[in-house]
Amino acid sequence: MRKSLLTGLVLSLLMGANVNALTYFVSSNGATVNSAALDVGVNYTIEVSGQWSFHYNKWFADAEYFQNVTMDWNNATEDYPSDVPQNLELLVDGQDVDWLGTTDGVNFADDIFSPTHVYRTYVTGTGSAVQFQIHDTFYGDNSGSLQVDVTKTPGDAVPEPATIFLVFAGLAGMAGFSRNKIKK
């Protein structure tokens, strides 16, 4: 039992060191989704696409904007109310994100509504997973999900020796842990 647990931990560590491109689907039912562990010091692009609906398919929202009173995207609203910026959007690690929008699919910038509903943000890996969740005050009338793609940002150098060292440090730590448990 302990051996299989240890094997699982080792495997997840090794797999975490090889995150290149991962796709997740985050439901509008409020469930949280954890990514694989992101490599320490490596820069990742998080790209979100799609839209989900609230109030029984009357209104739609994407990662950052949502439809307001006219029930169409011509009246896309970024933050409402302004003091609750996390309302109706995709949170990362429980926090509101200034999702970068695009009108040409190439350049991404803050405070831009994406007609294609594609948004990006950038994070640096810490060795841990990042968590995604669609935030709402009432989930019972929602449907749909957002697609989240996590990829290594092109052109960034990968600190392989540091990553390998961390994996071995983790293995050594676990070996010490299991030895101590056996002694008791």
Least distance (Å) from Ca ion to the CB of residue 97?
A: 5
Spatial distance between the Cα atoms of 114 and 38, rounded to a whole number of angstroms: 27
Secondary structure of residue 73 in the 3-state scheme? helix
Least distance (Å) from Ca ion to the CB of residue 102?
A: 15
Q: Which residues pair with 172 in a beta bridge?
A: none
- The pairing of beta strand 90-92 with beta strand 131-134: antiparallel
Nearer to Ca ion, 58 or 164 (CB): 58
Q: Which residues pair with 145 in a beta bridge?
A: 27
Q: What part of residues 68-87 is at the interface with Ca ion (CB under 5 A)?
A: 78-79
Spatial distance between the Cα atoms of 21 and 151, rounded to a whole number of angstroms: 4
- Cβ within 8 Å of residue 109, ≥6 positions away: 100, 101, 102
Contact with Ca ion (CB under 5 A) among 24, 54, 59, 119? 54
Q: How far is CA 91 from CA 18, 121, 153, 164, in A?
A: 25, 11, 20, 31
Nearer to Ca ion, 39 or 64 (CB): 64
Least distance (Å) from Ca ion to the CB of residue 3?
A: 45
Nearer to Ca ion, 18 or 83 (CB): 83
Residue with tokens 């749909």: 144
Token duo for residue 149: 């793609």
Instruction: Answer yes or no whether residue 64 interacts with Ca ion by CB under 5 A.
Output: yes
Nearer to Ca ion, 96 or 149 (CB): 96
Stretch that binds Ca ion, among 15-23, 56-64, 103-111, 172-180 (CB under 5 A): 56-64
Contact with Ca ion (CB under 5 A) among 38, 63, 89, 145? 89
Q: What part of residues 95-154 is at the interface with Ca ion (CB under 5 A)?
A: 96, 136, 138, 141-142
Nearer to Ca ion, 33 or 40 (CB): 33
Q: Which residues bind Ca ion (CB under 5 A)?
A: 54, 64, 78-79, 89, 96, 136, 138, 141-142
